[in-house]
Amino acid sequence: MRVVITGAGSVGRSVARELLANGHHVLIVDKEPRAVQTARVADAEWLLADACEISALNEAGLESCDVVVAATGDDKANLVVSLIAKTEFGVPRTVARVNNPKNEWMFDEAWGVDVAVSTPRLMTALVEEAVSVGDLVRIFEFQQGHATMVSMTLPRDSTYAGVRVGDLSWPADTILVGVIRQNRPIAPTRDDALEAGDELLFLTVPESESALEQMLSPGHVLRRS
């Protein structure tokens, strides 16, 4: 997917690096010449411009953008970027950084903000989760990366839709800890059945993530415990 990030500070660069590592196309926009240091995120595209101006966002190609991440250190700028992205360009997903907790109440749909967050890793996870049904998204790392929390939205054509949790055999060191269904959290029991569209939350280890993603993908042969 194509992501435009406004703000080339440490937060914007951190988000850009993670998205690039996950195979996405990233454009970073900043109005300060000293902030546009292409060597710091060499694989990204860069644009020297004021993202609060519609002409700059036109130049950035927001009409073909999947997600805008407003990651500057100025809450006012992040709100303006989100609002323009949503109302003028119809960007499907906007993720905005909140710098001052006192301003958090403004970061809502009225200002064009789909998700308001404050840490690079959580921003990355929310960007990917919004458009990646069937893809595993790492949300948190524990114990210096030896354990992770991951999520995956079960595709509609997954062979595991309709199967009881108790009939499933997860990869090694993997635990299903929660299900979000129709915006409500569920603590799954062995007798609960998975449904297409469920967001599944797992605790696992990095070496099992690939097997877990492959297991839940469409076309995988059903394996019961």
**pLDDT over 80 (residue 140):** no
pTM score > 0.85 for this model?
no
pLDDT in tens, 62-90: 999 999 999 999 999 999 999 999 999 99
- Label residue 25 exposed, middle or buried (CB < 10 Å: 0-12, 13-18, 19+): middle
Per-residue buried b or exposed e for 72-105, using 16+ beta carbons within 10 Å of the residue's own CB: beebebbbbbbbbbbeebebebbbbbbbeeeeee
pLDDT at res. 45: 95
pLDDT digits (tens, 9 = 90+) for 174-185: 999 999 998 888
Dig out the tokens for 96 from the structure. Answer: 């905005």
Please count the other Cβ atoms lying within 10 Å of the Cβ belonging to residue 172: 10
Domains with residue ranges and CATH for the chain: 2-131 (3.40.50.720), 137-216 (3.30.70.1450)
CB 41 within 8 A of CB 99: no
